[in-house]
């Protein structure tokens, strides 16, 4: 019961965001270290758009559930709700751009900006996790 609460869902999202930002930091470091490698294609981590899609789908389905008539065990349920815990980060390669004649598409300035954004997001997620645990601790003391 408590594991399915909105507070635990928020804690899971915060925990997952720390993992994602750590992965994103590794990807950015890899992009920066390969800035001079011919034909290297930069990578980026996508997590937020998939998380938003799952949350929007859940919000859209509330009150609009159309029950599926499953008369055979082989039928595929079409109204199955995806949970936040099913969202995984994806590392995407950018094949569409090329900034230099040698085919490399790493822009060092963009990577440095992404690295500073990543650092700020990681710090804010750490602070949010700390606040969440403080609230949880306060609630547990009062019970």
Residue 1: the pLDDT is 47
SS3 90: strand
The neighbour count for residue 57, using CB atoms within 10 Å, is 11
Mean pLDDT by 10 residues, the chain (143 residues): 70 91 96 93 93 81 64 76 83 85 90 96 93 86 80
- Give this prediction's pTM: 0.77
Residue 65: the pLDDT is 59
**Enclosing H/E stretch for 113:** helix 108-142
Residue 66: the pLDDT is 63
d(CA 116, CA 73): 51
């Amino acid at each position: 019961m408590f594991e399915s609460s909105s507070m635990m869902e928020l804690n899971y999202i915060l925990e997952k965001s720390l993992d994602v930002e750590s992965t994103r930091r590794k990807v950015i470091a890899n992009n920066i270290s390969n800035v001079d490698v011919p034909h290297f294609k930069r990578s980026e981590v996508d997590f937020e758009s998939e998380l938003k899609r799952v949350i929007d789908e859940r919000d859209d389905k509330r009150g609009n559930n159309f029950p599926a008539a499953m008369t055979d065990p082989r039928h595929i349920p079409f109204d199955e709700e995806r949970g936040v815990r099913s969202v995984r980060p994806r590392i995407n390669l950018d094949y569409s751009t090329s900034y230099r004649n040698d085919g490399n598409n790493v822009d060092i300035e963009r990577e440095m900006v992404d690295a500073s954004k990543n650092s700020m997001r990681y710090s804010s997620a750490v602070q949010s996790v700390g606040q969440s645990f403080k609230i949880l601790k306060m609630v547990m003391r009062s019970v």
